Structure 1
Amino acid sequence: MGGCNLSCRWCDTPYTWDWEGVSDTGIAFDPKTELNRLPVATVLERLLAFGVGLVVISGGEPLNQQKRLVPLVEALAERGVEVEIETNGTRIPDPRLIAAGARFNVSPKLSHAGDPAAKRIVPAALERLAALPSSTFKFVCRNSADLDEVAELVAAAGITSVWVMPEGQSGAEIDRHIRQLADEVVDRRWNITTRLHTLVWGHRRGV
């Protein structure tokens, strides 16, 4: 999904929202080139053609357009396809998405992402998402100070499912950060994961 209400410096999909070149790429992408409006029926047909049992909706920030997502998620659910929605945790999810069985992969942004706290942290949204038993929270981190910031958010919002992912756009960056983080993440009894897509394909756009 195109568009985002945040502007993370290190975003790995800046082409979905960065029309001014504010991310680390320095590239001002053209929304007329990057974005395409499609009817729900067309999107549904294309997704069903993959023959998969799980669809992940990413962005940008998908919940900025969640009213448009409702009929798609409901149609996928009716056909037995599970749906996960990736979100930055600044929007309260539409009850219809919850009723349709959508799960939420929530990635609140820390201070190193560059946006002010009032913009990237919305307590009411985080608390609502944390109250859903199927929500998972993933935090992009680089060091111990980032983990302290995660701990504050986890305590404030009542988050129980915590995953830490190392920040990095290359295998070398990911390796360095995961080594710095791993022991402390384990000590805090959280989960740690890598960035498999970056390790396999590098910083290369998909199709």
Structure 2
Amino acid sequence: MTGTDAVAPVSDAAFRLLIAECFGVSKPTFQGEGRSSGVPALFIRLSRCNLTCDWCDTKYTWDWNQFDPRKESTRRTVADLLAWALASPVELVVITGGEPLIQQLALIPLVQGLLAGGKQVEFETNGTLAPNSALLVDGVRFNVSPKLGNSGVAEDKRIVSSALKAFADSGRATFKFVTRMVAELDEISAIVDRHGLAPVYVMPEGTTAEGLIETTRLLADAVAARRWHFTPRLHVLAFAETRGR
């Protein structure tokens, strides 16, 4: 699927999405990463992913050696998800995963309904699947997070040139890289230069406040020297490893 694909007819069954969790209503939260860090947000987390990153903190969306998919995912209709999101005054809806663009054809009517209801939409994606042209509209942004070698995933699976080009050409994407050491900044630079990616955000890897502080201090000077953005993981600092925050 490419960024210029026409929208194909969608059956009733396709309007049901495989969901891991939705949160941000009963317990308010905010976007913890990237360009909208600190902005109040609702989250729709889709189940399933096409990558298997070693340090992934949402393995319950895809790692069925550790988690039971029957317990970790449900099918919900677009109408149900719209009713849930539009009942909240929070303006930003983050669609994340897993990898949400695996289900992007069924996401089109969801996004259209959210925009019609006055919401703004941000996708969190690994950048391996190009967005359908129906998603490249005002009110939609993409936080694209290409994976580095530290993910443990083969390069030909985690770096897809055609998809990265589609995001870069869209003018609706920022590019966020998860890293834990200064030496990996050269790897980020090579990917950025090869694919013409901008703006660039660097995010320290970590699932505890102590680990994030340590990695942040390790990386800060080197990231600043490259004039890249530096993003925290505010949800980890604020809520530790609590799911649904």
| Structure 1 stretches lacking a partner, 5+ long | 21-27
Give the Cα separation in 1 of the matches to 2:242 and 2:90.
24
| Structure 2 stretches lacking a partner, 5+ long | 1-45
Indicate conservation of the 8 Å contact 1:126/1:157, yes or no: yes
Match of 1:16 in 2: 61
- Is 2:115 the counterpart of 1:77? yes
Would you tell me which structure has more strand in proportion to its own residues?
2
Matched-pair identity in %: 50
* Structure 2 counterpart SS, 1:38: strand
User: Bigger relative contact order, structure 1 or 2, given CA contacts below 8 A and separation 6+?
Assistant: 2
* Structure 1 counterpart SS, 2:198: coil
Q: Give the TM-score normalised by structure 2.
A: 0.79
* Structure 2 counterpart SS, 1:139: strand
Give the Cα separation in 1 of the matches to 2:120 and 2:167.
18
What code does the residue aligned with 2:91 have?
Answer: G
How many residues are matched? Answer: 200
Indicate conservation of the 8 Å contact 1:19/1:30, yes or no: yes
In the TM superposition, residue 32 of structure 1 has moved relative to its aligned partner by 0.5
Q: Choose from 169, 174, 177 the match for 1:131.
A: 169
Over 3 Å counting, the alpha-carbon distance change for 1:38 and 1:72 in structure 2 is same
Runs of 4+, deviation exceeding 6 Å: none
Indicate conservation of the 8 Å contact 2:54/2:152, yes or no: yes
Would you tell me which structure has more helix in proportion to its own residues?
1
Q: Alignment RMSD, CA only?
A: 1.1
Higher mean alpha-carbon deviation, 83-92 vs 173-182, is at 173-182
Higher mean alpha-carbon deviation, 195-204 vs 63-72, is at 195-204
Give the Cα separation in 1 of the matches to 2:233 and 2:90.
22
Q: Give the TM-score normalised by structure 1.
A: 0.94
Match of 2:200 in 1: 162
